[in-house]
Amino acid sequence: MTNLLVINAHPKVDDDSSVTLLVLRYFLETYSKRNPEAHIEQIDLYREYVPGIDRVFLDAQEKVKRSERLTEKEQRTTARMTELLRQFQRARQYVIAMPLHNFNIPSRLKDYMDNILIPRETYKFTETGSVGLLNDGRSAVVIQGSGAVYTRQDWYTEVEYSHKYLHSMFRFLGFDDYRIIRAEGTALRKREDILAETYREAYEAAIQLAP
């Protein structure tokens, strides 16, 4: 059975006015029809608790190294981080839905990535450099909405740090199959034109992912 993890990084979570979320919904409908036996999990980063790298986290890490007792808050934080990591490891396919925030990924998604980029769990260091441990044929699809257009090979293309970061991190983890669907130009173009284009891309991506 295929395990698909949906990582919803949109602050509006389930707003029908979001082009990004409409494309995600179309992707999942197509994927489910092609692969009805697939197990699909979803995490809504702006609805659920996603620990960040803060004082609680850093204190807990230091105490673990010294074999000291954690506070209740530190225990909740570390337990949740382990839960998120295990959920991510269980999946084989991933779809991330997000808006572009100031040329980068949403802050909650960065927090989430810090929960899964864990040495000896998803990557390891060797004498010749780091090695991704999720190099067993996993696939990731990113659905990204943006007000501007980032594919014209201009200044905006240079500062699309969101795609550069995620592409690099998934390669770092060992993924070979990574693709991005851009619902771009929402502040400049007609909504129906954007949806028509991205629905086609979402359909193709879903068909390729579904066995």
Report the chain's mean pLDDT, rounded to a whole number. Answer: 96
Q: What is the mean pLDDT of residues 99-113?
A: 98
Non-local (6+) Cβ contacts of 161 within 8 A are 103, 104
- Indicate whether 77 belongs to any domain: no
Q: In the prediction, which pLDDT does 2 show?
A: 82
Of 2 and 156, the one with more pLDDT: 156
Q: How confident is the model at residue 211 (pLDDT cuts 50, 70, 90)?
A: confident
CATH of the domain at 25: 3.40.50.360
- Asked if pLDDT for residue 1 goes beyond 80, the answer is no
Whether 125 shows a pLDDT value over 80: the answer reads yes
On whether residue 108 sits in a domain, the answer given is: yes
92 CB neighbour count, 10 Å cutoff? 18
Give me the pLDDT at residue 65, please. Answer: 92
Q: Is the pLDDT at 183 greater than 90, yes or no? A: yes
β-pairing, 39-44 with 177-184? Answer: unpaired
Give the pLDDT band (50/70/90) at residue 146.
very high
Residue 209's pLDDT is what?
94
State the pLDDT confidence band at 171, using cuts at 50, 70 and 90: very high
Query: Is the residue at 152 inside a domain?
Result: yes
* DSSP codes, 58-80: HHHHHHHHTTPPPPHHHHHHHHH
Alpha helices in the chain (DSSP H): 19-34, 55-65, 72-90, 107-116, 155-158, 161-173, 191-209
* Total domains present in the chain: 1
Q: Is residue 79 part of a domain?
A: no
Residue 61 domain-assigned (yes or no):
no
- Give the structural domain span for 31: 3-52+87-209
Report d(CA 93, CA 157) in Å as an integer: 27
Would 137 be classed as within a structural domain?
A: yes
Render pLDDT for 55-85 as a digit per residue (tens, 0 to 9). 999 999 999 999 999 999 999 999 999 999 9
